[in-house]
């Protein structure tokens, strides 16, 4: 049987370029070479590449984090080329990338989401009004970025202006979120229409919050897989992860992040990542390994899901 030709896309026009390279390298290292003929395709920071050359592959595996890779742009191009690809389609990718739109859809579906405010470039919010609405601490984030790039924890009014300026360096739209005293939980989802949820993991930051340095540089951060939780709480997190996956029209894969508020025990959806990290310390493959699906088998299932979705879409009349 001929090997499937797989292109692993990495790098890209994003602030998460370097993280993507590490993820792509891990995917390349764990693909079963008996089944797949895999080629790394590195997209430069300019974003300029011979995209049409991807048509020679059977499946594309995007490991492009952030804008111009995880937001539906590359997915739309692959749809035009008619190439099956791993992960969410154009719609799911786009709405999951935009933290404001994502939260609106969660709220519309009745899913528990912490209070937030959306700001666009040029808007001048009243610090007093923000404090009344969200309280301190609050978090300032670019609406369309991941890996905690451009995020600040705002403890008081004196820190607000700098936090807004930093977030607006990375996007024209930002979100301010109510800060919660909470544990940070993560759950991985795998599948198309009949998706499954992994065991639940917990992130224990080595810094005040799980920023970029805590994720990728700080040896003090810990990941606990599985998390120490009552069975009922773990079931609720897994059920919410699957529901969020469906609400955002995701498919293939996603990592769903939660807050478990201390004191109240309330669970809040934080966000979905439709192209989660695949680095050696990333939670998505760790959660599935703990659920009985080792890294090579996980990649094989993702490729099979991509082909399944591609075959289904090929049957749609145009």
Whether residue 199 is found in the same domain as residue 50: no
- Percent of the chain at pLDDT > 70 equals 95
User: Is the separation of the CB atoms in 124 and 164 below 8 Å?
Assistant: no
CB atoms within 10 A of CB 169: 12
**Catalytic residue list contains 255:** yes
Residue where a domain stops, chosen among 178, 206, 232: 178
**Catalytic residue list contains 30:** no
The CATH number of the domain holding residue 204 is 3.30.470.20
Residue 318 lies in a domain: no
Classified as helix, coil or strand, 286 is helix
The CATH number of the domain holding residue 120 is 3.30.1490.20
Whether residue 71 is found in the same domain as residue 12: yes
Is residue 41's pLDDT more than 80? yes
Whether residue 286 is found in the same domain as residue 267: yes
Whether residue 42 is found in the same domain as residue 141: no
Residue where a domain stops, chosen among 140, 155, 178: 178
**Catalytic residue list contains 216:** yes
**Catalytic residue list contains 206:** no
Mean pLDDT of 242-260: 98
Of residues 13, 255, 301, 309, which has the active-site annotation?
255
Residue 307 lies in a domain: no
Whether residue 139 is found in the same domain as residue 245: no
Mean pLDDT of 39-65: 94
Whether residue 137 is found in the same domain as residue 229: no
pLDDT for the residue numbered 120: 97
Whether residue 103 is found in the same domain as residue 228: yes
Residue 61 lies in a domain: yes
Of residues 12, 23, 271, 310, which has the active-site annotation?
271
Question: How many structural domains are present in the chain?
Answer: 3
**Catalytic residue list contains 16:** yes
The CATH number of the domain holding residue 54 is 3.40.50.20
Residue 174 lies in a domain: yes
CA 86 vs CA 155, 215, 301: distances in Å? 40, 24, 10
Q: List, for residues 190-247, the tens digit of each pLDDT value.
A: 999 999 999 999 999 876 654 555 554 556 789 999 999 999 999 999 999 999 999 9
Phi and psi of 76, rounded to 5°?
Answer: -65, -40
Is residue 303's pLDDT more than 70? yes
Whether residue 100 is found in the same domain as residue 209: yes
**Catalytic residue list contains 235:** no
Whether residue 208 is found in the same domain as residue 291: yes
pLDDT for the residue numbered 211: 54
Residue 308 lies in a domain: no
Residue where a domain stops, chosen among 149, 178, 207: 178
Classified as helix, coil or strand, 111 is coil
Q: List, for residues 69-115, the tens digit of each pLDDT value.
A: 999 999 999 999 999 999 999 999 999 999 999 999 999 999 999 99
Of residues 115, 216, 249, 261, which has the active-site annotation?
216
- Map tokens 């800060």 to a residue: 179
Whether residue 37 is found in the same domain as residue 67: yes
Q: How far out from the chain centre does Cα 249 lie?
A: 14
Range of the domain at 80: 4-86
Binned at pLDDT 50, 70 and 90, residue 50 comes out as: very high
pLDDT for the residue numbered 207: 64
Q: Taking all residues of the chain, what is their mean pLDDT, rounded to a whole number?
A: 93
Of residues 14, 93, 144, 147, which has the active-site annotation?
147
- Per the DSSP assignment, residues forming a β-bridge with 269 are 113, 258
Residue 315 lies in a domain: no
Residue 206 lies in a domain: yes
Token readout for 269 is 């959806």
pLDDT for the residue numbered 215: 52
Residue 91 lies in a domain: no
Whether residue 100 is found in the same domain as residue 200: yes
pLDDT for the residue numbered 146: 65
pLDDT for the residue numbered 214: 52
Whether residue 36 is found in the same domain as residue 134: no
pLDDT for the residue numbered 205: 87
Q: List, for residues 148-204, the tens digit of each pLDDT value.
A: 778 999 999 999 999 999 999 999 999 999 999 999 999 999 999 999 999 999 999
């Amino acid at each position: 049987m001929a090997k499937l030709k797989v292109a692993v896309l990495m790098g890209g026009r994003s602030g998460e370029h370097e993280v993507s390279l590490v993820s792509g390298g891990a995917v390349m290292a764990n693909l079963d070479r008996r089944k797949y003929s895999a080629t790394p395709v590195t997209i430069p920071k300019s974003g300029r590449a011979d995209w049409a050359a991807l048509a020679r592959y059977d499946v594309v595996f995007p490991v492009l984090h952030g804008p111009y890779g995880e937001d539906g742009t590359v997915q739309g191009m692959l749809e035009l080329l008619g190439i099956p690809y791993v992960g969410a389609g154009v719609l799911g990718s786009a709405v999951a990338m935009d933290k404001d739109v994502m939260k609106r859809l969660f709220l519309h579906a009745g899913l528990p989401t912490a209070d937030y405010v959306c700001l666009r470039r040029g808007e001048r919010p009243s610090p007093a009004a923000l404090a009344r609405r969200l309280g301190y601490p609050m978090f300032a984030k670019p609406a369309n970025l991941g890996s905690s790039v451009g995020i600040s924890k705002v403890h008081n009014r004196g820190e607000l202006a700098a936090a807004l300026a930093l977030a607006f360096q990375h996007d024209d739209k930002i979100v301010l979120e109510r800060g919660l005293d909470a544990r940070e939980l993560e759950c991985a989802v795998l599948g198309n229409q009949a998706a499954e949820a992994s065991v639940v993991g917990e992130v224990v930051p080595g810094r005040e919050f799980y920023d970029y340095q805590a994720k990728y540089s700080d040896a003090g951060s810990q990941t606990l897989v599985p998390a120490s939780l009552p069975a009922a709480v773990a079931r609720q997190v897994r059920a919410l992860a699957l529901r969020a996956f469906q609400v955002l029209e995701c498919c293939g894969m996603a990592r769903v992040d939660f807050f478990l508020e201390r004191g109240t025990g309330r669970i809040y959806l934080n966000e979905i990542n439709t192209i989660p990290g695949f680095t050696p310390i990333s939670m998505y493959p760790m959660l599935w390994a703990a659920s009985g699906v080792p890294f090579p088998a996980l990649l094989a299932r993702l490729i099979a899901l991509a082909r399944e979705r591609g075959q289904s879409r090929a049957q749609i009349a145009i």
